[in-house]
Amino acid sequence: MRRIGTMELVTKRLVLRRFKDSDARNVYENFGKDELVHRYISFIPCSTPEGAYDFVQKHLWGYESNPDFYGWAITLNGEIIGSIGLFDIDHDSECCELGYSIGSKWWGNGYTTEAAAAVVDFAINRMFAHRVQASVHPDNIASKKVLENIGMQFEGVMRGAQRDPSGKFSDLYLYARLSNDPVPEID
């Protein structure tokens, strides 16, 4: 896989861009403090203003220090509505994992599908990843639909794979798309 770092991606309605130092407040306000966003995930870095600041700073550091760092602010008309990234980059297996969060105010409009499709396309066609995978809580119907809409296939259940902030373990569903899988048409 190529090590090319986070590059701006433009879709029909969105711009996926690098975070800026001034983004922390909007990250916190638009999706970090949104309890609905946290419902099915264990990693909740932006739930406080300080956490949102640290999240942005880690992105800024990653952009400068790691050519395998891929993290985007999802913006709509210049406003940050979420974040998306690729992580667990494995050059030997040419594999990476997709993760995203978007503020509930923007749910149901296809923005997550649009952003995820762009990032998976970037991973496969610009980084030359063979496999992009994602995991999702079994009750997160909307996120499962996003993954299916972008051509990811359900591969199985990872039992007890996630611990939530209260300490409770839950299963995760594993989805993946390979570089030679058909590319779905997305409106």
CATH code 3.40.630.30 for 9-132: yes
Location of structure tokens 């297996």? 93
Contact partners, residue 96, CB within 8 Å, separation at least 6: 1, 70, 86, 87, 88, 89, 90, 123, 127, 129, 131, 132, 133
Residue 39 and residue 41: Cα distance in Å, rounded? 6
Residue extents of the structural domains in the chain: 9-132
- Would you write out the chain's pLDDT as a tens digit for each of its 187 residues? 999 999 999 999 999 999 999 999 999 999 988 888 888 776 667 888 999 999 999 999 999 999 999 999 999 999 999 999 999 999 999 999 999 999 999 999 999 999 999 999 999 999 999 999 999 999 999 999 999 999 999 999 999 999 877 788 999 999 999 999 988 887 6
pLDDT value, residue 66: 95
* pTM recorded for the entire structure: 0.94
- CA dihedral for 5, 56, 106, 149, sign (positive or negative): positive
